[in-house]
Every structure is written in structure tokens, then in C-alpha cells.
């Protein structure tokens, strides 16, 4: 089947399974990762180049709020291709456990390679997470599964190989707060010390 270009925007915390999903279920998609390219502008250029050539651009970032996600929607609309949000909803404790394991092996692409900082950093990002709204102009909002066979079916449907799975509505982020450094309720002000390490420099 000839591809007409597609932007898939992975949305989820570090350790939620975004990179693994690409590697296992979408290996032919071009992984557009800011941890590797360092600057958002380079990621944008790669996404646009990929979809204009008819390929699939897989945006591998946390993309936790509408502003971060809007860059990819704009590119897709400008290039007249479909844009899909792919939500990763693993709970915070699972994300921290996975991220720590990767940090201990030095497998992170970005700044999460210090196991002692993982809990606080993931907690900080969780606190900033915003649900995907209808006004963000995604053509579809899908949800990745912890089950491999369900992800295979999702990808097959997304690429037009089978009937589409039931779309899931965006959900509000978890309201739980972890007792870890850097994880503050929304109403609390952050100090300069809290913001020393900012993994959300993706805006």
C-alpha cells in the first residue's frame, strides 16, 4: 500500500513505552526524537521531510501539553496528511521503575541517566501533564496497550490493514501525587531549585 504520509505523536511519560512501541511495532516509521536531535526545530524538519516523502513520522517526545503537541499538528495540516495522537498511559510507579532500570544501564537518550533523579523528574513531568482536548485537531486519538497483540491490531488498523479499533477518549491525568522530589501539586509554586533540571524544554 502506498503511503500518503502520516504523523504519529507519542504522548506519555518517560518509561511509558513510547520508544519500545516504535522499535517493536513501527520499525519502518522514522523515529523523530528530540533527545537524539537535541533541538525541536530539527525534529520539526525531520517530521516534515518524512511526511512530504510519503513516510510515517513517529514523534518520540513526552508531548504532555497542548503547546508541545501543536507543533506536529501544524506540520501535518500544512502537509495535508493525517495526524494521530498515541497515548501511553502506564501509571507513574511503572514509569519510574522502567526509567530507573534504563538509567542504571545507561540506555536513556536524554537526561534521565541518573537513577537517583528519576522519581523526581518523572513526578515533575506528571504534574505538568494535560489531557488531549478535542480542539487540538488530531484526526484520531488512540491508546497504546500493555498487551503486544492489542498493539499489533492497533497498528494494523492505523495503517489500513484491518478495521479500526475503538477509539478511546482522552482521559484526565491521574490525580495521585508521589512523595518524591520535584513532584508538586499544581497549586504549589515551584522554586528555582525545583526547576534546575527541566526535561520539558520541548516547547
Successive 10-residue mean pLDDT values, the chain, 203 residues? 79 88 92 84 93 93 87 94 92 82 63 66 80 90 90 90 53 46 48 44 56
Please name the residue ranges forming H helices in 105-139.
118-128
Which CATH number covers residue 68?
A: 3.40.50.300
134, HSE (Cβ side, Cα atoms, 13 Å) = 1
Backbone dihedral angles phi then psi of residue 58, each to the nearest 5 degrees = -105, 105
- 113 lies in a domain? no
| pLDDT confidence of residue 39 | 83
- 190 lies in a domain? no
Read off the C-alpha cell for 60.
518520540
Range of the domain at 43: 6-91+132-158
Length of the chain counted residue by residue: 203
| pLDDT confidence of residue 30 | 94
Q: Are 139 and 77 in contact (CB under 8 A)?
A: no
- 55 lies in a domain? yes
- 1 lies in a domain? no
Q: How far apart are the first and last CA of the chain?
A: 35
Q: Are 57 and 34 in contact (CB under 8 A)?
A: no
Q: Are 199 and 111 in contact (CB under 8 A)?
A: yes
| pLDDT confidence of residue 127 | 77
- 170 lies in a domain? no
Name the domain count of the chain.
1
- 125 lies in a domain? no
- 98 lies in a domain? no
| pLDDT confidence of residue 203 | 60
| 180 C-beta neighbours (distance < 10 Å), count | 17
Alpha-carbon span 134 to 132, nearest angstrom: 7
DSSP string, 154-174: HHHHHTTSSPPPPP----PPP
Q: Does the global pTM surpass 0.75?
A: no
- 196 lies in a domain? no
Amino acid at each position: 500500500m502506498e503511503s500518503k504520509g502520516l504523523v504519529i505523536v507519542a504522548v506519555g511519560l518517560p518509561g511509558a513505552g513510547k520508544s519500545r512501541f516504535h522499535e517493536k511495532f513501527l520499525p519502518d516509521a522514522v523515529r523523530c526524537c528530540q533527545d537524539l536531535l537535541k533541538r525541536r526545530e530539527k525534529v520539526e524538519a525531520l517530521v516534515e521531510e518524512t511526511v512530504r516523502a510519503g513516510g510515517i513520522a513517529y514523534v518520540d517526545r513526552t508531548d504532555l501539553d497542548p503547546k508541545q503537541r501543536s507543533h506536529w499538528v501544524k506540520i501535518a495540516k500544512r502537509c495535508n496528511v493525517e495526524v494521530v495522537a498515541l497515548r501511553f498511559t502506564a501509571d507513574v510507579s511503572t514509569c519510574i521503575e522502567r526509567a530507573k532500570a534504563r538509567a542504571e544501564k545507561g540506555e536513556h537518550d536524554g537526561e534521565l541517566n541518573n537513577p537517583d533523579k528519576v522519581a523526581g523528574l518523572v513526578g515533575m513531568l506528571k504534574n505538568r501533564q494535560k489531557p488531549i482536548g478535542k480542539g487540538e485537531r488530531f484526526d484520531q486519538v488512540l491508546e497504546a496497550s500493555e498487551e503486544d497483540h492489542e498493539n499489533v491490531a492497533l497498528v494494523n488498523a492505523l495503517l489500513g490493514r484491518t478495521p479500526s479499533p475503538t477509539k478511546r477518549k482522552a482521559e484526565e491525568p491521574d490525580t495521585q501525587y508521589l512523595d518524591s522530589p520535584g513532584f508538586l501539586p499544581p497549586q504549589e509554586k515551584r522554586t528555582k531549585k525545583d526547576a534546575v533540571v527541566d526535561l520539558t524544554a520541548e516547547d
